[in-house]
Structure formats: structure tokens, C-alpha cells
């Protein structure tokens, strides 16, 4: 894997052939005014050019039931957040499906608590086994509604690998979860070993009195993120 990463870096070729779904997080300053064409169109044009000029793979099919390739890797999945200021931050996080397909979400009962959350995380990673090309990075979203849990699980993957949650109680959970995941024995490539995950990142959000949503979003060792500020 290390030799592969070195070749990819020196020869400027993709480290993995799954160059992903173009997932784009936009943090838009409230004082920014965008003129001309739509932001969404501009992002898709960027994806189109980036994937073509970079010799990246077109992996998107238009209608998921008819499954015809769109031919330019568009559309992107765009998550827009309004923030203070007069700048726009764009984070691109291409996401391969080998790991996305092994991700899962469950609406737990509040009574299941932390033990229930842990069990769901471990069950998900155990079921994934070798499929998501371990060692993996695990993003966990706890709370909110169904879609909010999934979104914060994905946002958790944006954090630099191994940086703990600033909240000490959550950081402690992250360390516990990482130990438990590595005790599964899945190991690199799923061939057995002590390094199944490099990090478990957890994000939380307030939730409903009746709910305990948990989302587990898995990322492989090709954890590709880039950001730019305009």
C-alpha cells in the first residue's frame, strides 16, 4: 500500500481506480453574493473538467434503475452550509463505493444506549470484513434525524485522520471504539491482523426524545480530501 501511494504520488495517477462520487461540501459565508450562473452548475462543471483532465474514472450512472453512465462523473453530491464571513470554502471528498456500500444506518431505541451504539458499529464493521479494503477510517454520526446522522458521519470523515473530537467524553468513546474495532481481528485487507481501523471519528447532534439514530460511514485508506477557499 505504501509503494502504491508513492507511485500514485510521483506519477500523478490515481492510487485507487475508484475515483469516487464527487462529494462536495460548501461552507458559504453569509456575506458572499454569487453572480452569474448557479453555484451548483459551476461545481458540476468543475467536476466535469477535473475528472476529464485528471484521467479519473467516470463512475456515475444517471437513473439508478436504468444504470446508464453519465459520462462525466456528474452530478456531484453537494452539501451546503451557511457560515459567517465573506469567503466560500469548498471541500471535495471523492467517495468510492467499496466503502460506501459497507456503510449503514440504524434507528436505535434510546434504551439501547452506548452499548447499543457500540454493538451496531462493530456489527457493521464485522459484516463489511475485507470488502472496504481495510485498514479503514470509520465516521460515526450519533443523534439528529436519520439524514442528519448520516451527514455528520460523513463530516466526521473530513477530520484529519486520528484527530480526536474536541469534547473529552466523545474523544474517550472514539478511543474505546477504535480498540474494539481492532479487536475484531479483520486486519489489513481482511486477511487477519490487529490494524482493522486507523481511526474512529464520532460526531454527535441533539436528537428526539424517542430516537437514537446511529450512522456508520466507512472510508478506506484512500482518504482523499482537498479544500480551497475563495
Partner 1 sequence: MITKIKLTTPLSEQVVEKLRIGQKVLLNGVLYTGRDATHKKMIELLDKGQSLPVELKGQIIYYVGPTPAKPGRVIGSAGPTTSGRMDIYVPRLLALGLKGMIGKGKRAPEVIKALKQYKAVYFAAVGGAAALISKCIKEAEVVAYPELGPEAIHRLVVEDFPAIVVNDTLGGDLYEEGTKIYAAKEH
And the C-alpha cell for 186? 479483520
Total residues found in the chain within this entry: 230
Residues 13-52 that bind partner 1 (CB under 8 A): 13-19
Among 4, 81, 208, 227, binds partner 1 (CB under 8 A): 4
Q: Looking at 23-31, 36-44, 95-103, 144-152, which segment touches partner 1 (CB under 8 A)?
A: 95-103
7 counts as binding partner 1 under rule CB under 8 A = yes
3-state helix, strand, coil split of the chain in percent (to 5) is: 35, 25, 40
Rounded Cα distance between 128 and 110, Å, is 25
Among 56, 150, 215, 218, binds partner 1 (CB under 8 A): 56
131 counts as binding partner 1 under rule CB under 8 A = yes
Q: Looking at 2-10, 31-39, 163-171, 206-214, which segment touches partner 1 (CB under 8 A)?
A: 2-10
Shortest Cβ 5–partner 1 spacing (Å) = 8
Name 80's Cβ contacts closer than 8 Å, sequence gap at least 6. 26, 28, 39
Nearer to partner 1, 31 or 66 (CB): 66
Cβ atoms within 10 A of the Cβ of 55, count? 10
Amino acid at each position: 500500500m505504501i509503494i502504491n501511494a508513492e507511485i500514485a504520488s510521483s506519477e500523478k495517477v490515481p492510487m485507487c481506480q475508484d475515483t469516487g462520487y464527487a462529494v462536495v461540501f460548501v461552507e458559504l459565508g453569509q456575506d458572499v453574493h454569487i453572480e452569474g450562473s448557479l453555484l451548483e452548475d459551476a461545481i458540476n462543471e468543475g467536476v466535469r473538467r477535473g475528472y476529464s483532465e485528471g484521467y479519473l474514472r467516470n463512475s456515475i450512472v444517471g437513473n439508478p434503475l436504468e444504470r446508464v453512465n453519465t459520462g462525466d462523473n456528474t452530478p456531484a453530491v453537494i452539501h451546503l452550509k451557511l457560515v459567517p464571513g465573506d469567503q466560500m470554502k469548498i471541500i471535495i471528498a471523492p467517495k468510492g463505493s467499496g466503502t460506501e456500500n459497507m456503510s449503514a444506518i440504524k434507528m436505535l431505541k434510546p434504551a439501547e444506549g452506548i452499548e447499543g451504539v457500540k454493538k451496531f458499529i462493530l456489527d457493521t464493521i464485522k459484516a463489511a470484513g475485507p470488502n472496504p479494503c481495510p485498514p479503514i477510517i470509520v465516521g460515526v454520526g450519533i443523534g439528529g434525524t436519520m439524514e442528519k446522522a448520516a451527514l455528520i458521519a460523513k463530516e466526521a470523515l473530513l477530520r484529519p485522520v486520528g484527530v480526536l473530537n474536541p469534547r473529552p467524553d466523545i474523544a474517550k468513546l472514539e478511543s474505546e471504539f477504535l480498540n474494539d474495532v481492532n479487536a475484531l481481528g479483520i486486519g489489513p485487507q481482511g486477511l487477519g491482523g490487529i490494524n482493522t481501523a486507523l481511526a474512529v471519528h464520532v460526531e454527535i447532534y441533539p436528537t428526539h426524545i424517542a430516537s437514537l439514530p446511529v450512522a456508520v460511514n466507512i472510508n478506506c485508506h484512500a482518504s482523499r480530501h482537498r479544500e480551497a477557499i475563495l
